[in-house]
Amino acid sequence: MDTATEKDINQITYKISRLNISDSIAWLATEFPGKVTFSSSFSAEDQVIAHAILSNNLPISIFTLDTGRLFGETYSVWSTTNEKYNTRIKAYYPNALVLEHFINEKGPNSFYESIENRKQCCYIRKVEPLKRALAGNSIWITGLRAEHSPERKNLQRIEWDEGNKIIKYHPLLLWTAQDVRNYINEHDVPYNALHDRGFVSIGCAPCTRAIRPGEDFRAGRWWWEEAGKKECGLHEHAKN
């Protein structure tokens, strides 16, 4: 699918509106065989979706973006997930030559120096590998929730991503953090241990910290930048 029409979006939205998470993903897999993929960062939300896919043996490909600077705990939950569900989640990595040039030119921690450097780092480590991962697919499933940031409050569960020419589905969009936690506890889903230590949104280790009481969800990401600029480029199309 090169471009989705408003009619396409509305038809899919109508169909999944009456289905639970597992059934909606299963329906998409049937309607778009071999063309549905799920991107996981091993966040609590993503683990919920992975469980729905893997425990039901749904024919959905799952991938992750290994930036090379993830927390050890993230690799641990990745490994545990593979073992629990007898799967092998595919990893996409930055272009080695491009990353090598960037680091040699600007240094390993240049993202602290300017937003331009940080966004360039995010592009190399995340955005470009994402484009490779999404190529050839029609549906991209994500773990975005409306509570994550003001920019995501007006998202629709089904939307067209013009930048990547793909339909995005956010099955947990209206879930609360407690909904996610309840599902994980009820289904014994493996999750990142950092969540128990105040880390809410977990990305690269140098760019993520635990949040303090009263801080919003995204406060722990790129904390040295202004709040309105805290996006890495993976979901910029969704801004309103």
Burial class (CB within 10 angstroms; exposed 0-12, middle 13-18, buried 19+) of 40: buried
Q: What is the 3-state secondary structure (H, E, C) of the chain?
A: CCCCCHHHHHHHHHHHCCCCHHHHHHHHHHHCCCCEEEECCCCHHHHHHHHHHHCCCCCCEEEEECCCCECHHHHHHHHHHHHHHCCCCEEECCCHHHHHHHHHHHCCCHHHCCHHHHHHHHHHHHHHHHHHHHCCCCEEECCCCHHHCHHHCCCCCEEEECCCCEEEECCCCCCCHHHHHHHHHHHCCCCCHHHHHCCCCCCEHHHECCCCCCCCHHHHECCCCCHHHCCCCCCHHHCC
Q: Is 207 a catalytic residue?
A: no
Considering the candidates 121, 122, 207, 232, report the single residue annotated as catalytic: 232
Neighbouring C-beta atoms of residue 116, cutoff 10 Å: 11
What DSSP designation does 125 have?
Answer: I
What DSSP designation does 174 have?
Answer: T
Catalytic residues: 232
